[in-house]
């Protein structure tokens, strides 16, 4: 089918060849059969790296290479058991890394598939939403501004349809589309003006097309190798930690070399010196850290999904914790987007909608305009009402429905022949219909814009001229409605005898006859007030940016607690008069921006960023992409958002709710805090190991720990508590703190110092235990050091949960996973110390009761000191 010159065929011919129906679309069962025949409408992805390749990659790590070299040399020096064990541990670690990498990849893929676009198709005569990958040849697809074109096809209907096809043609200017049949000769893609192609974007207008090819058969499918490769998802923190690991490794190597040389000249046995150096190298590198950070991040992302936030770019998780400004749309994000028309105004009288009498000419015109100049629909299926479209428009169709003016009926009576779609810059929409042998334009839009396009007014059955006096009366009435937080829409019409060749706002939307206004309620979302409050206690400033009328915006912003007085608001016009510098100067003054267009949003984001703030910004429309991209955390709407806005975002709110952003910020703070806890825990252990080894060296004693002891602790027994710290519930006051500064070091607020002090304490007690055991023999000494190091780490894991609150404040039982992790690690620790076979391999021995008691005594010292210190410091602060 693909070779056909679809652009050169008559529409009827296209319809027949594709065995479809332009009026009703495909039958559902036919679509199902075609899906089986043609397969899914998606592009085959590049072949992924094989498992073996991924496994080999695990060994390219710096620390693994050091370990392998160490193992090889010990083997040459005759310590074959050590060699084998190091290899086993390295091997297990590689498998773990592989599993973990696979899991992370899977969850990224799952995230991706959660944000795959839907398309509106016509099947069995009704409009329905399907996943774009289920589209088949012959389907009739509806397009509107902001949609990605899901497949290739021939246009059968269009209204100001413009499509940007740069993915295919390299041309970034949008192309005007047509329905006309083109000449039957070879034409390049860019000139096939009556076709649309998969992968391009609708930038303006509306249209309908019949699908000619899907999946790999589309034009983009043929050049699919050109597709952007997926971004690598490492976060800045992950990169910083990888660098830290490398640096530590290099420092460790240098220290090892020095110690080795010193020991050599001291005349110590080379093999001993070598083993101490290897131990030190292993001790200095936090082997488990990168994997743990990745797992903690991906678990955090999973938790966010449950709270309705889908993270599209992993670094956003970290940025979220630093957010200091949240700019939010009003309609649908702060409010419920469930609009209902409650009042109607025609000249001189405001009434409740219940009182509307459809036999009255004015009201009939008001309702007709609302219903006909409208792309939404209400369908009744088995007694159940289903609505499709923009809530503002649904409210108007619903009003007609109540007054028994069904959209389908009106539309068949007054056929729509032309239209100028709504856009949020113009703030209006018009349609042209056949009426009594002529044509009638129906227009609806923002009152302050529309009234200036009207020069007449409908009063009862008469059309009179609209003078300034009447205008100001109407605007006064609008003000009163807006003060109640109502959303006001104005309606107008005019009769024309001919339709101009090029229909545009200029030649259609003027000299209109003003009919009246409708006022709708859109109640604030229930959770938002609390969320605004939480923002304020946590040093985050919520800001409302809306296309709606200023007074309506102020009324709702006050109700939600975003502002206290009118002075904190500004509208698009005033913004227009300010230079960027002036805006930056005054930016702190405003928390409500009304009647703004999407370009203003970019300016607002920039001004705040220039003040050093981290800005989250919501958006849904096609024109919102630049501000979403420019902001630090672009949040797209999952329900009402266009494909384009979703693609430009870092995070998608599946419930379109402002509160979700605040929960995500909280989750972002918790995740960052938890990563700090894992780092606190793991690095203090590393320092403990180094201190123990160096002290022994200082006293000219043998190494208290051999490499496999250290590896076992670093990679096995430490990793479970470190992981469970990563899912810590988070401190209760986390939203009472100020946002973290973006450039702040991960070791800030005393973390670095605490790591060092805890490390030194753990090192000293481990060495002391070794020293005690050494009185008996080296095996006993090492066993005691190994146990003290492990157990003091278990206690440490409970204590690192907070830098300032003691364990009773945090709650000993409040992280169940941590308790389970300690038990599991405890069993692993005991198995290598007590099971004879493992005991042999690990060169450990049995202890007496007295020695065990000493082990426990030594182990709880660092923990107790830290907890007592926190308690005393808190008392003194009070």
Residues near ligand ATP (CB under 6 A) are 329-331, 390, 392-393, 422, 424, 427-429, 444-446, 489, 546-548
User: Which residue number has the CB closest to ligand ATP?
Assistant: 547
CA atoms within 13 A on the CB side of 547: 24
In the bound state with ligand ATP, the residue whose beta carbon lies nearer, of 547 and 688, is: 547
Closest CA to 211 of 130, 158, 262, 149: 149
Asked if residues 422 and 397 have their Cβ atoms less than 8 Å apart, the reply is no
Provide, rounded to whole angstroms, the least separation between the CB of residue 385 and ligand ATP. 20
Least gap, CB of 600 to ligand ATP (angstroms): 11
CB 495 to ligand ATP: min, Å: 20
Please tell me the distance from the alpha carbon of residue 590 to that of residue 584, in angstroms, as a whole number.
11
Task: State in angstroms the smallest separation of the CB of 744 from ligand ATP.
Answer: 33
Helix, strand, or coil here: 89? helix
Of 616, 620, 564, residue with least CA distance to 592: 564
> Tokens 């790296």 sit at which residue?
49
Closest approach, Cβ 490 to ligand ATP, in A, equals 8
> What 8-state DSSP symbol labels residue 149?
P
Q: What is the DSSP string of 230-280?
A: PPP---HHHHHHHHHHHHHHHHHHHHHHHHHHHHHHHT--HHHHHHHHHHH
Tally: H helices and E strands in the chain:
33, 26
Residue 111: Cβ within 10 Å count: 21
CB of 637 to ligand ATP, least distance (A): 9
Considering the complex, state which of residue 330 and residue 606 has its C-beta at the smaller distance from ligand ATP.
Answer: 330
Which C-beta is closer to ligand ATP: that of 123 or that of 601? 601
Q: What is the CA radius of gyration of the chain?
A: 34
Instruction: Report the alpha-carbon angle 541-546-548, nearest 5.
Output: 145
Least Å distance, CB 390 to ligand ATP, is 5
**Longest Cα–Cα distance in the chain:** 114
Q: 54 or 416, CB closer to ligand ATP? A: 416
How many residues comprise the chain? 878
Q: Which residues touch 105 (CB under 8 Å, ≥6 apart)?
A: none
Choose among 675, 625, 674: nearest CA to 650: 625
Closest to ligand ATP by CB, 278 vs 515, is 515
SS3 state at 714:
helix
List the one residue out of 43, 346, 347, 84 whose CA is nearest residue 213.
Answer: 43
Residue (of 805, 766, 808) closest to 788 by Cα position: 766
Closer to ligand ATP by Cβ: residue 325 or 798 = 325
The strand pairing partners of 214, in sequence order, are: none
Catalytic residue among 139, 329, 620, 643: 329
Tokens of 849: 């009761």
DSSP bridge partners of 384: 381
Q: Is 329 a catalytic residue?
A: yes
Closest to ligand ATP by CB, 82 vs 548, is 548
Q: Are 672 and 745 in contact (CB under 8 A)?
A: no
Q: How far is the CB of 145 from ligand ATP (least distance, A)?
A: 12
d(CA 492, CA 456): 9
Kindly state the tokens that stand for 139. 């389907």
480-485 long-range contacts (CB < 8 A, ≥24 apart) are 481/343, 481/345, 481/350, 481/517, 481/519, 482/549, 482/550, 482/551, 482/552, 482/555, 483/551, 483/555, 484/519, 484/555, 485/521, 485/552, 485/555, 485/556, 485/559
Q: Which is nearer to ligand ATP, 594 or 703 (CB)?
A: 594
Please, what is the minimum distance in Å from the beta carbon of residue 393 to ligand ATP?
Answer: 5
Quote the CA–CA distance of 682 and 406 in Å, as a whole number.
68
For the CB of residue 793, give the shortest distance to ligand ATP in the complex, in Å: 52
**Residues sharing a CB contact under 8 Å with residue 834, sequence separation 6 or more, in sequence order:** 846
Least spacing, CB of residue 421 vs ligand ATP, in Å: 9
Q: Which residue has the tokens 């007709």?
A: 368
- Alpha-carbon gap, residue 718 to 682, rounded angstroms: 7
Q: How far is the CB of 144 from ligand ATP (least distance, A)?
A: 11
Residue with smaller CB distance to ligand ATP, 615 or 785: 615
Main-chain dihedrals φ then ψ at residue 846, nearest 5 degrees? -80, 150
- In this complex, which beta carbon is closest to ligand ATP, that of residue 601 or of residue 758? 601
Cα–Cα dist 798/818, whole Å: 8
Q: How far is the CB of 330 from ligand ATP (least distance, A)?
A: 3
135 vs 622, beta carbon nearer ligand ATP: 622
444 or 676: CB nearest ligand ATP: 444
- What is the C-alpha to C-alpha distance for residues 810 and 812, in angstroms, rounded to an integer? 7
Could you write out the DSSP letters of every residue in 334-363?
TB----EEEEEEETTEEEEGGG--TTSHHH
Q: What is the DSSP letter of 215?
A: G
Contact in structure between 143 and 196 (CB atoms under 8 Å): yes
Q: Which is nearer to ligand ATP, 420 or 671 (CB)?
A: 420
Cβ-contact 354, 402 below 8 angstroms? no
Query: 3-state class of 647 per DSSP?
Result: helix
Catalytic residues: 329
């Amino acid at each position: 089918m693909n070779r056909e010159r679809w652009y050169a065929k008559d529409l009827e011919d296209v319809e027949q060849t594709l065995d479809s129906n332009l009026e009703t679309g495909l039958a559902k069962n036919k679509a199902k059969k075609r899906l089986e025949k043609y397969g899914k409408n998606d592009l085959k992805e590049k072949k992924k790296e094989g498992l073996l390749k991924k496994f080999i990659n695990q060994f390219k790590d710096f620390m693994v290479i050091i370990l392998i070299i160490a193992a090889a040399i010990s083997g040459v020096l005759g310590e074959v058991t050590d060699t084998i064990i190091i290899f086993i541990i390295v091997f297990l670690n590689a498998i773990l890394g592989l599993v973990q990498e696979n899991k992370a990849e899977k969850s990224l893929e799952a995230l991706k598939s959660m944000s795959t676009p839907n398309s509106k198709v016509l099947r069995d005569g009704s409009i329905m939403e399907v996943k774009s990958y289920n589209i088949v040849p012959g389907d009739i697809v509806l397009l509107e501004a902001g949609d990605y074109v899901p497949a290739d096809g021939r246009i059968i209907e269009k209204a100001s349809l413009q499509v940007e096809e740069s993915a295919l043609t390299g041309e970034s200017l949008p192309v005007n589309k047509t329905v006309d049949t083109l000449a039957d000769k070879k034409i390049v893609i860019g000139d096939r003006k009556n076709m649309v192609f998969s992968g391009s974007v609708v930038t303006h207008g509306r249209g309908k097309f019949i699908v000619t090819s899907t999946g790999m058969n589309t034009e983009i499918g043929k050049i699919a190798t050109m597709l952007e490769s997926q971004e690598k998802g490492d976060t800045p923190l992950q990169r910083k930690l990888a660098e830290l690991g490398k640096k530590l490794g290099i420092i460790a190597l240098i220290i090892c070399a020095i110690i080795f040389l010193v020991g050599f000249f001291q005349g110590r046995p080379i093999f001993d010196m070598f083993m101490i150096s290897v131990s030190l190298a292993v001790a200095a590198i936090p082997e488990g850290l990168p994997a743990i950070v990745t797992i903690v991040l991906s678990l955090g992302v999973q938790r966010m999904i449950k709270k309705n936030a889908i993270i599209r770019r992993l670094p956003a998780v970290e940025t979220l914790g630093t957010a200091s400004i949240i700019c939010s749309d009003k309609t649908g994000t702060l409010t419920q987007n469930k609009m209902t028309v409650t009042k109607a105004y025609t000249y001189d009288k405001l009434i409740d909608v219940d009182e509307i009498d459809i036999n009255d000419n004015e009201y009939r015109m008001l309702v007709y305009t609302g219903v006909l100049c409208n792309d939404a629909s209400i369908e009744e299926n088995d007694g159940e009402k289903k609505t499709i479209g923009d809530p503002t428009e649904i409210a108007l169709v619903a009003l007609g429905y109540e007054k028994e003016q069904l959209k389908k009926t009106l539309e068949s009576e007054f056929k729509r022949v032309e239209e100028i779609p709504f856009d949020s810059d113009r703030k209006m929409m018009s349609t042209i219909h056949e009426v009594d042998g002529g044509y009638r334009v129906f227009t609806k839009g923002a009152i302050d814009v529309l009234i200036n396009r009207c020069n007449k007014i409908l009063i009862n059955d008469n059309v009179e001229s609209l003078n300034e006096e009447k205008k100001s009366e109407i605007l006064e009435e609008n003000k009163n409605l807006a003060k109640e937080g109502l959303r006001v829409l104005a309606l107008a019409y005019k009769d024309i005898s001919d339709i101009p060749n090029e229909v545009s706002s200029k030649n259609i939307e003027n000299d209109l006859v003003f009919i009246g206004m409708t006022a709708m309620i859109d109640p604030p979302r229930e959770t938002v007030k609390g969320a605004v409050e939480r923002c304020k206690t946590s040093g985050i400033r919520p800001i409302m940016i809306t296309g709606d009328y200023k007074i309506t915006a102020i009324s709702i912003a006050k109700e939600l607690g975003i502002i206290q007085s009118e002075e904190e608001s500004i509208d698009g016009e005033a913004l227009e008069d300010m230079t960027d510098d002036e805006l930056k100067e005054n930016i702190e003054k405003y928390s409500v921006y009304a009647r703004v267009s999407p370009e203003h949003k970019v300016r607002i984001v920039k001004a705040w960023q220039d003040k050093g703030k981290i800005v989250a910004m919501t958006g849904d429309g096609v024109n919102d992409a630049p501000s979403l991209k420019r902001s630090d955390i672009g949040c797209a709407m999952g329900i009402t958002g266009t494909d384009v806005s979703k693609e430009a975002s870092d995070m998608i709110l599946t419930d379109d709710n402002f509160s979700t952003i605040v929960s995500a910020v909280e989750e972002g703070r918790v995740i960052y805090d938890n990563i700090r806890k894992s780092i606190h825990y793991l690095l203090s252990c590393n320092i403990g190991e180094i201190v123990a080894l160096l002290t022994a060296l200082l006293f000219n004693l043998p190494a208290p720990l051999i490499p496999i002891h250290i590896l076992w602790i670093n990679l096995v027994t430490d990793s479970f508590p470190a992981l469970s710290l990563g899912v810590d519930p988070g401190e209760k006051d986390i939203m009472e703190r100020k946002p973290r500064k973006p450039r702040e070091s991960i070791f800030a607020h005393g973390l670095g110092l605490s790591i060092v002090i805890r490390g030194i304490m753990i090192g000293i007690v481990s060495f002391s235990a070794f020293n005690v055991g050494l009185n008996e023999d080296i095996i006993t000494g090492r066993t005691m050091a190994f146990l003290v190091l492990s157990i003091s780490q278990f206690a440490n894991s409970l204590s690192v949960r907070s830098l300032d609150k003691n364990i009773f404040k945090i709650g000993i039982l409040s992280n169940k996973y941590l308790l389970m992790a300690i038990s599991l690690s405890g069993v692993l620790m005991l198995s290598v110390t007590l099971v004879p076979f493992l005991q042999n391999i690990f060169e450990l021995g049995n202890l007496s009761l007295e020695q065990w008691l000493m082990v426990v005594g030594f182990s709880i010292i660092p923990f107790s000191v830290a907890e007592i210190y926190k308690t005393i410091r808190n008392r003194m602060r009070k």
